[in-house]
Structure 1
Amino acid sequence: MGKSLFVREGRGIAPTGAAVSLAHRIEYPINVISSVAEHNDELNVYCTESLLPFCAHIDGVRFIEAPLDEDKLFDALIAQKVDLVIDVISSKRHSLIEEVLFDDEAVCLTRSNHPRIDTEMTYDQYFEEQHIALKLRRSEMNTIDFLSDKPIKPRKVSIETSSISSMLMLASTTDYVASSTRSLAKLLAPQLGLKVHAIPLDLNPITFRMLYHRRYASDEQHIKVRETVRAALPSIHS
Structure 2
Amino acid sequence: MANLYNLKRFDLNLLIIFECIYQNLSISKAAQTLFITPSAVSQSLQRLRVQLNDPLFVRAGKGITPTTVAVNLHHHLEQNLNSIEQTINITGKTELKKRFVVYGPQFHAMPKLTRFMDTLLEDPSMEVIYHDTATENDQIEDVLNYRKADVVFTLENCENRALICTPYCDCEAVLISRKAHPRLGDDATLEEILQERFAVLQSREHQIKEFQKLYISARLSERNVAFRSSSLMSVFNIIHHSDLIALVPRLVFERLKEPLNLKQINTPIPLQKFTFYMVYSRASLTSPFFSEIIKKAQKETKHSQKKYQKQNHK
TM-score, scaled to structure 2? 0.57
User: 2 CA distance for matches of 1:147 and 1:237?
Assistant: 30
Q: CA deviation at 1:237?
A: 4.7
Give CA deviations for 1:24-47 in whole Å, capped at 9, x if unaligned.
xxxxxxxxxx98x72432210012
Match of 2:255 in 1: 187
User: 2 CA distance for matches of 1:219 and 1:125?
Assistant: 56
SS in 2 for 1:116: coil
TM-score, scaled to structure 1? 0.73
Would you say 1:84 and 2:151 are equivalent positions? yes
Distance 1:198 1:217, change over 3 A: farther
Distance 1:146 1:196, change over 3 A: same
Match 1:223 to one of 278, 287, 291: 291
Give CA deviations for 1:53-99 in whole Å, capped at 9, x if unaligned.
64244413322212356753332123221111112111112111111
Structure 2: give runs of 5+ residues left out of the alignment: 1-91
User: 2 CA distance for matches of 1:218 and 1:111?
Assistant: 49
Ranges of 4+ aligned residues in structure 1 off by more than 6 Å: none
| Residues 1-238 of structure 1: pairs in structure 2 closer than 5 A | 38-52=95-109, 54=111, 55=114, 56-57=117-118, 58-59=120-121, 60=126, 61-67=128-134, 71-139=138-206, 142=209, 144-145=211-212, 151-154=218-221, 155-198=223-266, 200-230=268-298, 231-232=300-301, 234=305, 237-238=309-310
Structure 1: give runs of 5+ residues left out of the alignment: 1-33
How many residues were matched structurally?
204
Give CA deviations for 1:102-159 in whole Å, capped at 9, x if unaligned.
21211121001001111123222333211111110223862633776x8454332111
User: 1 CA distance for matches of 2:267 and 2:146?
Assistant: 38
Q: CA deviation at 1:196?
A: 1.8
Percent of aligned pairs with the same amino acid: 22
Does the 8 Å contact 1:147/1:203 carry over to 2?
Answer: no
User: 1 CA distance for matches of 2:106 and 2:305?
Assistant: 14
Q: Considering Cα pairs closer than 8 Å and 6+ residues apart, tell me whether 1 or 2 has the greater RCO.
A: 1
User: 2 CA distance for matches of 1:44 and 1:147?
Assistant: 34
Does the 8 Å contact 2:186/2:266 carry over to 1?
Answer: no
More strand by share: 1
Does the 8 Å contact 1:45/1:62 carry over to 2?
Answer: yes
Does the 8 Å contact 2:187/2:267 carry over to 1?
Answer: no
Does the 8 Å contact 1:107/1:199 carry over to 2?
Answer: no
Q: CA deviation at 1:229?
A: 4.1
Does the 8 Å contact 1:101/1:209 carry over to 2?
Answer: yes
User: 2 CA distance for matches of 1:170 and 1:164?
Assistant: 10
User: 1 CA distance for matches of 2:201 and 2:154?
Assistant: 15
Distance 1:200 1:213, change over 3 A: farther
Distance 1:69 1:120, change over 3 A: farther
